[in-house]
Structure 1
Amino acid sequence: MSDCGSRAVSVIAFIGSVFSPWYRWSGRRSPDNHVCINVATYGPGGRFTMTDRGRAALHQTENSFTVGPSALHWDGARLRIDIDEVSAPPVISRVRGSITVTPRAVTGVELPLTPDGAHVWRPFAPSSDITVDLHAPGWQWSGHGYFDANFGTRALEEDFSFWTWGRYPSGKGATCFYDATRLDGSTLATAIRFDANGQAAIDPAPPPLTPMRRSMWAVRRETRADPGFRPRQVKAMLEAPFYSRSMVETQIDGQRTVGVHEALDLRRFRSPLLKPMLAVRVPRRAGWSFDR
């Protein structure tokens, strides 16, 4: 998020693009044949890019991850993301430039999301500084961000029906909430507080889950907040029939804070009717050559 709160970016690097209809239609047999660097910009002139590419476009080293024309590079202190993508309809255009993510601290935390560890959340850097330098007017700014990852050996919709996640900066670091309902009826309810040095502590008595107004597509939303405080969206980011990402204001321990919130309805995502709709926003480009 920019310091002024008017702009934001998100970048997700996939091996096995979990929201790609092409990966689903393939039977999910070859994750490395469905790779993507998804870039979305929020604010004036915002764009969305999510191109599903084949294994020829994937190149990895210990400190780099490349998918076609875009790449992530880790130098031991910061993550540089070089972007050269084409946005999806309705506005088709180039999205080029770079984003640098500098963690304030790197954690050693891993959170299993299911008892058997088939899904794991890894918050590498819940508090980071970001610098954005894209080739578009107004898209040169700095702000506050984070760097995390999810790993899984099964499709999300095989184990979950609904989840919400939120990361809220605080004066001492950041607080993350992960709440989910699994298909077997069990739940995940985790609150983790990270200090300025990246040290993590699970909150044994987190603020209560509090409902928010539903998204534009009527996706249910909730996050945690002090009793009596009603969280609210301050900026819409990504809206889909099964997913919502937004900037949300909540209150934790008497302190108001604005962070990124996500809600994911996997019952809706399981619908086969959604896949052709997603294919319009997630084009498949199987061929690639690094020699060109």
Structure 2
Amino acid sequence: MTIIAFLGSVFSPFYKRAGAAEPTDHAALNVALYGPRARWTMTERRREAVSRERDSLAIGPSSLRWTGDGLLIDIDERDKRVGVPWRRPVRGRIRLVPEAVNARAFSLDAEGRHRWHCIAPRARIEVDIAEPGLSWRGSAYLDSNFGRERLEEGFRVWHWSRAHGASGASVCYEGIRRDGSPFASALRFAADGTPQLAELPMVAPLPDTLWQMQRQVRADRGHASLVRTWEDAPFYARSTVAMRLRGEPVTAVQESLDLDRFVNPVVQFMLPYRMPRG
């Protein structure tokens, strides 16, 4: 499961056409449920459907709010999955409780236009989805991204991965900026969330997706095994990968994003069918 709250829906064709103006006029809650009862929601809401307070955010009928020890997410959306002619409801509640908290944000470019903040490198999650009827408890991760320009203006491609280990969590972030300069970093988060730069592991290539998207991860000896591809879009892929990291066997979540593909006119034409504007 992945949930992303957007203020300024960075993958929205409507937001792109508007010149990335008025982010709150292009807000969305993306909910991706994987497995036999898969659902996918990303309805874009206008500014009058958005409400922000210090500890809460409402986007249409859905909301997120801090409740003291954790983040409570109430979902009331309808899915928009390719090949499904009707929009099925997605309703439920998620409770995320950080096990470690990190206060430091990192810049992804020299000018600080794009910042990434791993808020909780480790967390517990309680999932109770009334529709389609799912309930489980497990581990989770919480982060935030902020940009003063559109993603495609700052980057051509990036790869990201996160893995939980016995004593903390590891995140690798790398890619190519729009000016052609590469960037890469590896961070280790201690049990209390304190980040520390780590030696960058070797590149481990992964098989291309069905859309021929290139993807890669960082792993010991440059070797990793693809477990499953969860999201396979023309410009984006999300996968689970098995590998060893600093001598420890881990299961990682991996993401690849190709922003040259994102701006392709054919892709822009297709996006409104997957991301309707409410």
TM-score by structure 2 length? 0.96
- Percent of aligned pairs with the same amino acid: 41
Matched, 1:61 2:56: no
Q: Which of these residues, 37, 42, 45, is aligned with residue 37 of structure 2?
A: 45
In the alignment, the residues of structure 1 paired with residue 271 and residue 164 of structure 2 have an alpha-carbon distance, to the nearest angstrom, of 32
Matched, 1:184 2:152: no
Matched, 1:162 2:166: no
Which residue identity does 2:45 align to in structure 1? R
Q: Which of these residues, 224, 243, 252, is aligned with residue 218 of structure 2?
A: 224
What residue number does 2:257 align with?
264
What residue number does 1:19 align with?
11
The answer (yes or no) to whether the contact 1:224–1:250 under 8 Å persists in 2 is: no
Provide the aligned C-alpha RMSD in A. 1.1
State the aligned residue count.
275
Which residue identity does 1:209 align to in structure 2? V
In the alignment, the residues of structure 2 paired with residue 265 and residue 17 of structure 1 have an alpha-carbon distance, to the nearest angstrom, of 16
Post-superposition Cα deviations, 1:72-123, rounded to whole Å, max 9, x if no partner, equal: 0112310010000000043320000011111101101211001000000000
The answer (yes or no) to whether the contact 1:213–1:232 under 8 Å persists in 2 is: no
Q: Which of these residues, 244, 252, 274, is aligned with residue 251 of structure 1?
A: 244
Matched, 1:141 2:133: no
> SS of the counterpart of 1:278?
helix
Q: Shift in Å at residue 256 of structure 1?
A: 1.4
TM-score by structure 1 length? 0.92
In the alignment, the residues of structure 1 paired with residue 183 and residue 8 of structure 2 have an alpha-carbon distance, to the nearest angstrom, of 24
Q: Which of these residues, 60, 65, 80, is aligned with residue 73 of structure 1?
A: 65
In the alignment, the residues of structure 2 paired with residue 119 and residue 271 of structure 1 have an alpha-carbon distance, to the nearest angstrom, of 22
Moved over 4 A (4+): none
Which residue identity does 1:108 align to in structure 2? A
Gaps in structure 1 of 5+ consecutive residues:
1-8, 286-292
Gaps in structure 2 of 5+ consecutive residues:
none
Q: Shift in Å at residue 32 of structure 1?
A: 1.1
The answer (yes or no) to whether the contact 2:163–2:169 under 8 Å persists in 1 is: yes
The answer (yes or no) to whether the contact 1:164–1:262 under 8 Å persists in 2 is: yes
In the alignment, the residues of structure 1 paired with residue 195 and residue 21 of structure 2 have an alpha-carbon distance, to the nearest angstrom, of 36
The answer (yes or no) to whether the contact 1:190–1:202 under 8 Å persists in 2 is: yes
Which residue identity does 1:100 align to in structure 2? R
> SS of the counterpart of 2:265?
coil
> SS of the counterpart of 1:11?
strand
In the alignment, the residues of structure 1 paired with residue 234 and residue 267 of structure 2 have an alpha-carbon distance, to the nearest angstrom, of 8
In the alignment, the residues of structure 2 paired with residue 242 and residue 88 of structure 1 have an alpha-carbon distance, to the nearest angstrom, of 18
Which residue identity does 2:230 align to in structure 1? M
In the alignment, the residues of structure 2 paired with residue 116 and residue 270 of structure 1 have an alpha-carbon distance, to the nearest angstrom, of 23
In the alignment, the residues of structure 2 paired with residue 57 and residue 105 of structure 1 have an alpha-carbon distance, to the nearest angstrom, of 32
Post-superposition Cα deviations, 1:224-246, rounded to whole Å, max 9, x if no partner, equal: 0101x521221221111000011
In the alignment, the residues of structure 1 paired with residue 40 and residue 126 of structure 2 have an alpha-carbon distance, to the nearest angstrom, of 19
Which residue identity does 1:25 align to in structure 2? R
Q: Shift in Å at residue 137 of structure 1?
A: 5.8
What residue number does 2:208 align with?
214
